[in-house]
Chain A
Amino acid sequence: MKTDIKLAGVGGQGILSIATVLGEAATLAGVQLKQAEVHGMSQRGGDVQSDLRLSTEPIFSDQIPLGGADLIVSMEPMEALRYLPYLGPRGAVVTASKPFVNIPNYPDEAALLAELDALPRVTRMDIDAVAKGLQAPRSANMVLLGMAARHIEVLAPDTIREAIRIIFARKGEQVVEDNLKAFDAGYEGIQ
């Protein structure tokens, strides 16, 4: 059993925290993992992506092949579309729906969301609004992780919850609780 995930976003949006939690969860569950990150110049407000591969079998390539991703998880809707050629035939897309516009030629929002919604398996949510509604505005990425957890067959949601506790423990109980609340909201799909 395997889940290959393309994590996407804009430099500074915190996709690596999602990767860190899933890495911890994989370690807890004894699931194998490879996660290729982007460092350096590309982090400065440009598009960033990380290939996260989870499997019960040995993993060779650090990169996911074209058409090989089971899941695209994106902090930004246009960035979700960027990796479509990597999405597999039964792959799902889980994305934040609010555009992050820091370029002059950002596409028309309605057309972009329509292109997203035309894909077979798409979940999108205004994760910033959900996080704000929960009084946990800094936990938007954990809302997204909750949404994604529905599609990560190789890890049980309780294992991911445990990983959130471990990863954020040093930031205090309040941060742990906020992130768990955000994760659950994403998992249950509460708008």
Chain B
Amino acid sequence: MAEKKLLLGDEAVALGALHAGLSGVYAYPGTPSTEITEFIQGSALARERGVRSRWCTNEKTAMEAALGMSYAGKRALVCMKHVGMNVCADAFVNAAVTGVNGGLVVVAADDPSMHSSQNEQDSRFYGKFALVPILEPSNQQECYDLMASAFRLSEEVHLPVLLRMVTRLAHSRAAVAVGEPGPQNALNPDGDRSHWVLLPGNARRQYASLVEKQPELLSRAEKSACNALEKGKGLGVIACGIAYNYVREVAPEGISLLKVSQYPLPASLVRELADASSRILVVEDGQPFVEEQVKSLLGAGYPVSGRLDGSLPRTGELNPDNVAAAFGLEAGAVHAKAVNLAPRPPQLCQGCGHRDVYTALNQVLADYPSARVFGDIGCYTLGALPPFRAIDTCVDMGASITMAKGAADAGVYPAVAVIGDSTFTHSGMTSLLDAVNDNAAITVVLSDNLTTAMTGGQDSAGTHKFEAICLALGVEREHLHVVVPLPKNMEEITRIIREELAYKGVSVIIPQRECMQTLARRNRQKRAAQ
């Protein structure tokens, strides 16, 4: 009997990849994908096999390095949260044009309901856009099982395979039957330059060959065990990935049910379902990706419902309650909402250095009513909430510096950027170079807590290098300051901020103090070792 392990969806993906003969994982931390790479970093099997697993600087460097490993003939995994797909899209889309050598699987963990994100974009669109196969597991067992299928499929069709997760699966635990680890691939670099040198002449040929592969990808999806049709009577339901669980939880007996976990959308199965049913309900987490395709496949005359007609909410994640409502079943609350209840939003930890940074900024900027503070992605985004209310924007990784620059170009003064250390190396360095080259009148606060804190304290790519990086990018020595964000240093910090706001060029202030969480963890480990 196979061994059973209690695993998060993310951990099942990681173990599935290791057992499929993985040679390297490349990733930048991002909720809800972080635990995949962390599991591999902590795995004895990965250590024994020398599986490469250190954190990357961003999703694009991760994707490119993984493509390099695939080029060399070995199996590589790339993991990210959904918005990471935007960062690595250039490499991802073109990896479909070059094709792959060793298996290349890209895991995108979507966050419907935006539990820890700024949008709920659906990564399946990226898979369709790049013309690659997509797998979408419905439960933890499939997370494990589909990794082996994904690597095999990638090598058989010579394409990257996208595996799409959602938060509820990534962060939910269940027992998973696991098998034995299979062998890793040997080093075997691809010798065919015509695939890999995407000069227009080669690229046209490669792109045509990618398009020619599409009927085969469709036929594989139509025959795949991942896509199964159970025929019943009346209503037909298409349930994609995790949606299958909600449908099985609440749906009445006897309906027709098409479970979809492999794309391209298996059109022949959709037609078969349509023939057996009077109407179709599409249940999918995220955006109406399948619903739109089904409508176009079956034509305007066939009744299709889902997120587009309001049968399911247009935004937010699925749950057993909104899926039950789509079947016309009443929601089952018996107790009303409590009266003595207040929201408890997340907040910066007590003693956190970002707190001192915002205290100082607020103190100084009180004298500058026209000041604008451009924020970025990380724990310090919580500075937008009371008691600080200290930032005016938060858009995407690295946008603080470049938005401050653009606003300064337009005449905003003072224009301040607040960015964390890991976000700075992820996407802020090129922004800073633009600002320096334009001599933009901005003050950058590079709040360095020596870790990627928001996602749980992963190594940060630039630790101990920030002064050198800023100087190398052209920031002037006299406008680069390192301070220790503590209440006792408030006088010094506020004085420096005031001086640099007065300077009409690029200044960088680096408040540097370790994250309270990683400090506590280090102290716990020290105590345990004694």
Interface residues of A (CB under 8 A from B): 10-11, 19, 23-24, 27, 32-47, 59-68, 78-79, 81-82, 84-89, 102-103, 105-108, 111-112, 115, 119
B171 touches A38 (CB 8 A): yes
In the complex, how many residues of chain B place their beta carbon closer than 8 angstroms to a beta carbon of chain A? Answer: 51
- What residues on B are CB-neighbors of A36 within 8 Å? 168, 171-173
Q: Taking CB as reference atom, which chain B residue is nearest A62?
A: B172
With A44-B349, A65-B319, A65-B332: A60-B245 Cβ-Cβ less than 8 Å: yes
A32 to B341, CA, bound (A): 33
Which residue of A has the minimal Cβ distance to B8?
A: A37
- B246: interface (CB < 8 Å): yes
Contact: B248 with A34, CB < 8 Å? Answer: no
> Once bound together, how far apart are the Cα atoms of A124 and B455, in whole Å?
33
A62 contacts B349, C-beta separation under 8 Å: no
A33→B173 CA distance, assembly (Å): 8
A34 to B319, CA, bound (A): 15
With both chains docked as a complex, state the minimum distance between the C-beta of A115 and any C-beta of chain B, in angstroms. 5
Question: Is the CB–CB distance between A38 and B341 below 8 Å?
Answer: no
Q: Which of B146-181 contact A (CB under 8 A)?
A: 168-169, 171-175
Known contacts A61-B249, A66-B333, then 15 further A-B pairs from the complex at CB < 8 Å, ordered by chain A residue = A23-B6, A24-B6, A32-B174, A33-B6, A40-B115, A41-B31, A41-B116, A44-B379, A46-B347, A47-B343, A62-B172, A63-B320, A88-B334, A111-B340, A112-B340
Report the 10 A-B pairs with minimum CB-CB distance, sorted nearest first: A67-B332, A40-B31, A46-B346, A40-B116, A81-B338, A65-B320, A107-B340, A44-B346, A62-B172, A112-B340
Query: Chain A residues near B349 (CB, 8 Å)?
Result: 44-45
Decide if B313 is an interface residue (CB 8 Å cutoff). Answer: no
A105 to chain B, nearest CB (A): 5
Residues of A within 8 A of B116 (CB): 39-42
In the complex, the chain B residue whose C-beta lies closest to that of A107 is B340
- Among B32, B172, B319, B456, the residue within 8 A (CB) of A35 is B172
Residues in chain A near residue B342, CB distance under 8 A = 78, 103, 105-107
Q: Which residue of B lies closest to A42 (CB)?
A: B346
The reply to whether A102 and B246 contact each other, CB–CB distance below 8 Å, is no
Check: B410 CB closer than 8 A to any chain A CB. Answer: no
B65 at the interface (CB under 8 A from A): no
User: Most B CB atoms within 10 A — which of A10, A24, A42, A65?
Assistant: A65
**A62 is contacted by which of B168, B332, B345, B348 (Cβ under 8 Å)?**
B168
Among B8, B172, B342, B344: residue with most chain A CB under 10 A: B344
A55 CB → nearest B CB, Å:
11
Using A39-B35, A65-B324, A111-B340 as known contacts, say yes or no to A84 and B332 having CB atoms under 8 A apart. Answer: no
B204: Cβ under 8 A from any A Cβ = no
CB distance from B49 to the nearest CB of A (A): 25
User: Beta-carbon contacts of B234-276 to A below 8 Å, as 1s and 0s?
Assistant: 0000000010111011100000000000000000000000000
Instruction: Flag whether B522 is at the interface (Cβ < 8 A).
Output: no
Query: Distance in Å from the Cβ of A162 to the closest Cβ of chain B?
Result: 15
B465 to chain A, nearest CB (A): 27
> Which among A41, A62, A86 is the interface contact of B245 at CB below 8 angstroms?
A62
Residue in chain A with minimal CB distance to B248: A60
- B344 neighbours in A (Cβ, 8 Å): 10, 45-47, 78-79, 102-103
The interface residues of chain B, by DSSP majority, are classed as: loop
Task: Give Cα distance in the complex from A87 to B334, angstroms.
Answer: 7
A37 vs chain B, min Cβ distance (A): 5
A42 to B347, CA, bound (A): 9
A10 to B175, CA, bound (A): 27
30 contacts between A and B (CB under 8 A): A27-B6, A33-B173, A37-B171, A37-B172, A39-B171, A41-B31, A41-B454, A44-B348, A61-B245, A61-B249, A62-B168, A62-B169, A62-B174, A65-B249, A65-B250, A65-B321, A66-B321, A66-B332, A66-B333, A67-B334, A78-B341, A78-B344, A81-B338, A81-B340, A82-B338, A84-B338, A89-B334, A106-B342, A111-B339, A115-B338
Question: Is the CB of B337 closer than 8 A to any CB of chain A?
Answer: yes
Closest A residue, CB atoms, query B346 = A46
B336, CB-defined interface residue at 8 Å: yes
B241 to chain A, nearest CB (A): 12
Give chain B nearest CB distance to A173 CB in angstroms: 15
Task: Provide the bound-state CA to CA distance between A107 and B339, in Å.
Answer: 9
Beta-carbon contact of A87 and B320 below 8 Å: no
**Chain A residues with CB under 8 A of B331:** 65-67
CB distance from A104 to the nearest CB of B (A): 8
A39 contacts B338, C-beta separation under 8 Å: no
Q: CA A40 – CA B321 in complex, angstroms?
A: 24
Expressed in whole angstroms, the minimum distance between the Cβ of A57 and any Cβ of chain B is 12
Decide if B382 is an interface residue (CB 8 Å cutoff).
yes
Do A62 and B347 touch across chains, with their CB atoms under 8 A apart? no
CB-CB nearest in chain A for B323: A61
CA distance A60 to B6 in the complex (A): 16
Return the chain A residue nearest B319 by Cβ: A63
Q: Nearest-CB distance from A106 to chain B (Å)?
A: 6
Chain B, range 31-61, C-beta contacts under 8 Å to A:
31-32, 34-35
Q: Which residues of B contact A62 (CB under 8 A)?
A: 168-169, 172, 174, 242, 245
